Structure 1
Amino acid sequence: METWKLQDAKAKFSQLVESALKIGPQFVTRRGKKAVVVVSVAEYEKLRSQKKSFREFLLNCPKMDDAFEIERQKEYPRSLEL
Structure 2
Amino acid sequence: MKTMQVRDAKAGFSALIEAAEKGEPTMITKHGKPAAAIVSVEDALKLHPERKLNFGEFLLTYPGGIDLERNPSPSREIDL
| TM-score w.r.t. length of structure 2 | 0.58
Q: Per-residue deviation at 1:25?
A: 2.1
- CA distance change for structure 1 residues 22 and 30 in 2, over 3 Å: closer, same or farther? same
Runs in 1 of length 4+ with deviation above 4 angstroms?
none
Deviations 1:7-64 (Å, cap 9, x if unpaired)?
A: 1100000011111111332100011111101112121112113xxx7x527379xxxx
1:20 and 2:25 are equivalent in the alignment: no
- CA distance change for structure 1 residues 14 and 56 in 2, over 3 Å: closer, same or farther? same
Matched with 2:37 is 37
Amino acid of the structure 2 residue aligned with 1:45: L
Report the structure, 1 or 2, having the larger helix content: 1
Q: Of the candidates 58, 64, 71, which is equivalent to residue 63 of structure 2?
A: 58
Amino acid of the structure 1 residue aligned with 2:63: L
| TM-score w.r.t. length of structure 1 | 0.57
Aligned residue pair count: 58
C-alpha contact 2:23 2:39 (8 A) present in aligned 1 = no
Q: Percent identity?
A: 39
Q: How does 1:65-80 map to 2 (within 5 A)?
A: none
Stretches of structure 1 lacking an aligned partner (at least 5 in a row): 61-82
RMSD: 2.7
